[in-house]
């Protein structure tokens, strides 16, 4: 079953973002960005694992292709892949453990080699993070897929 975010939950995510209380620190705002990013990565593929021929639609994770330590691509939708827990971290065939993971993804046409090259350039190019702009972009993307 496809389990999409409801309009109500989406608005709740939004509403809490602009509250001006002590919790409204940069850290908590970035946490909300990460939540929006994680939801978008799953939503845009219809809540299924992107690994070739994997039927899993539950226990899904939003995988960062380039690590979250790269600020410039931390909230970039291109840097995300929806994977089941097994293909994310738990098995020897997972993104975090299989040295050939990227090659398998390319070979099966899930992403292209060119895509990875461009993403790598962005990941390793330092960029200043504009939280408000990123939030708007993620919200627009989410809206696109929520219809
Ligand atoms: Zn999977």
With CA atoms as reference, report the closest residue to 35 among 109, 135, 146, 129: 135
> 41-73 pLDDT, tens per residue?
999 999 999 999 999 999 999 999 999 999 999
Which pair of structure tokens corresponds to residue 61?
């994770």
Which helix (H) or strand (E) segment is 31 a member of?
helix 26-43
Cα dihedral value 19, 7, 84, 114, nearest 10? -90
- pLDDT at 38 (0 to 100): 98
pLDDT greater than 80 at residue 23: no
Q: How far is the CA of 114 from the centre of ligand 1 (A)?
A: 23
Q: Helix (H, G, I), strand (E, B), or coil: what is residue 106?
A: helix
Q: How far is the CA of 127 from the centre of ligand 1 (A)?
A: 32
pLDDT greater than 70 at residue 92: yes
- pLDDT at 58 (0 to 100): 97
Window from 24-28, 54-58, 131-135 with minimum mean pLDDT? 24-28
Residues in contact with 64: Cβ distance below 8 Å, sequence separation at least 6, in sequence order: 73, 74, 79, 80
Residue 84: beta bridge partners? 60
With CA atoms as reference, report the closest residue to 84 among 98, 73, 95, 97: 95
- pLDDT at 89 (0 to 100): 97
Burial track 129-142 (b if 16+ CB lie within 10 A, e otherwise): eeeeebbebbbebb
Bin 50: left if φ > 0, else alpha if -120 < ψ < 50, else beta. alpha
Q: How far is the CA of 135 from the centre of ligand 1 (A)?
A: 28
Segment 19-24 mean pLDDT: 58
Residue matched to tokens 């994680």: 38
Residues in the chain: 147
Window from 10-14, 54-58, 137-141 with minimum mean pLDDT? 10-14
Mean residue pLDDT of the chain comes to 90
pTM: 0.81
Q: How far is the CA of 2 from the centre of ligand 1 (A)?
A: 16
């Amino acid at each position: 079953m496809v389990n999409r975010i409801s309009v109500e939950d989406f608005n709740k995510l939004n509403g809490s973002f602009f509250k001006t209380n002590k919790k409204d620190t940069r850290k908590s705002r970035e946490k909300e960005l990460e939540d929006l990013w994680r939801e978008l990565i799953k939503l845009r593929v219809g809540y299924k694992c992107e690994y070739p021929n994997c039927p899993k639609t539950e226990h899904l994770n939003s995988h960062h292709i380039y690590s979250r330590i790269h600020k410039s691509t931390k909230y970039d939708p291109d840097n995300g892949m929806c994977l089941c827990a097994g293909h994310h971290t738990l098995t020897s065939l997972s993104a975090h453990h299989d040295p050939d993971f990227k090659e398998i993804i390319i070979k099966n046409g899930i992403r292209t080699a060119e895509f990875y090259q461009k993403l790598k350039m962005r990941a390793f190019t330092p960029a200043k993070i504009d939280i408000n702009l990123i939030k708007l972009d993620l919200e627009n993307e989410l809206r696109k897929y929520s219809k």
